[in-house]
Structure 1
Amino acid sequence: MSAQKHVLKHAGDVEGSEGLRMDEQKAEQIIDALNTDLAATYVLYHQLRKHHWNVEGAEFRDLHLFLGDAAENAEAFADELAERAQALGGVPHASMTTLEAESPVEPEDEDVYDIRTSLANDLEMYGDIIETLREHVDLAQNLGDHATAEILRENLVQVEEDAHHVEHYLEGDTLVTADTME
């Protein structure tokens, strides 16, 4: 890594966007919200990947594929959030330390759990993220940033859809029987 540093923009700085006609105060509020969503989405992404890697059992294939797709959805959403924050004149969170510290959701620990526990943890995280996204849609709309509101709204549909699939996986109707089922 180069020892020479020339910082173009410090984390936390907001310039607003002349091209997007967004004043600095409004941009700062929206960028804070976007960075919160970005941090939460990356925590979700890593937890989904963990479950994708560790899922076992008779329903392995379907769950493995679903969790991989859900993680890809989260990764794509994180990219949109970061690009929008940058377009509004901000600096998107990027370090793992900052992402974890700024996330409103807590990641699961390093242990591997049965898939029902893992999915229940995912569903809880999805629910928290959904609530925050709804608040941020309203914030962006109220500040007159209809484009950010639309980006969040479109992704909220996907987040809710993925959460709904997790809900279905947790239903009791299954051909698989195990000692751990209630």
Structure 2
Amino acid sequence: MSTQKTVRQQADVVEENRLRLDQDKAEQIVDALNTELANSYVLYHQLKKHHWVVEGAEFLELHRFLEEAYENVEGGADLIAERAQAIGGVPVSGPTNLERRATVEFEGEDVYDVRTMFENDLEMYGDIIESLRDSIELAENLGDPATGEILREILVQVEEDAHHFEHYLEDDTLVLEEATH
């Protein structure tokens, strides 16, 4: 393990960037990106938890669906972090900082029925969709269409996954309920 103690960049400092984005504007965009990054990881961990604990007749399909969903979130988070770094910032990291920065809230450690878990997920997806739209608008208003485009691509995937959660929450199902006598 390295014994080097030199800090190359403090976490809360946005440095001049080679993309020629004004530092004041970059600071605002990095702040928004770090919120999106934190939100992504809260959602990621909630989806991962649901992947681990899902049960029932549709277990395997839901297990796979949740895996794909959290992988999509993680991919978007990586793009967000790389963009924050590219414009001079430091991507937020570490569980304490992620939780503090997030505007969405993890449902907790308890295990719920599948419908409740998916309703909680869909609620978080909705909050993240609204936040992403705000961050896209901010980036574009500050003259950073590239960040807007990156976030727009992530938004498309987030909306698509949220729509899949909506489908799972519909009342119609092929699984028969046990008859009660």
State TM-score, norm by structure 2. Answer: 0.95
One-letter code of the match for 2:59?
A: F
Aligned partner of 2:158 in structure 1 is 159
Pair 1:101 & 2:100 matched: yes
Q: Per-residue CA shift, 1:105-158, capped at 9, x if unaligned? A: 000110111110000000000000000000011001101100000000011000
Q: 1:178 to 1:11 in 2, by over 3 A?
A: farther
CA root-mean-square deviation: 1.1
Aligned partner of 2:12 in structure 1 is 12
What is the alpha-carbon distance in structure 2 between the residues aligned to residue 138 and residue 95 of structure 1?
A: 27
Pair 1:150 & 2:149 matched: yes
One-letter code of the match for 1:112?
A: V
Q: Per-residue CA shift, 1:44-95, capped at 9, x if unaligned? A: 0000000011111111111111100000000001100000000000000011
What is the alpha-carbon distance in structure 1 between the residues aligned to residue 47 and residue 22 of structure 2?
A: 36
What is the alpha-carbon distance in structure 1 between the residues aligned to residue 113 and residue 8 of structure 2?
A: 46
What is the alpha-carbon distance in structure 1 between the residues aligned to residue 84 and residue 177 of structure 2?
A: 46
Pair 1:139 & 2:152 matched: no
One-letter code of the match for 2:136?
A: V
Q: How far off is 1:2 after superposition?
A: 4.4
Number of residue-to-residue matches in the alignment: 178
Q: How far off is 1:4 after superposition?
A: 3.7
What is the alpha-carbon distance in structure 2 between the residues aligned to residue 178 and residue 33 of structure 1?
A: 46
Aligned partner of 1:52 in structure 2 is 51
* Counterpart contact for 1:16–1:28, Cα < 8 Å: no
* Gapped regions of structure 2 (runs ≥ 5): none
Q: Indicate the percent of aligned positions where both proteins have the same amino acid.
A: 66
Q: 1:178 to 1:8 in 2, by over 3 A?
A: farther
Q: How far off is 1:3 after superposition?
A: 4.6
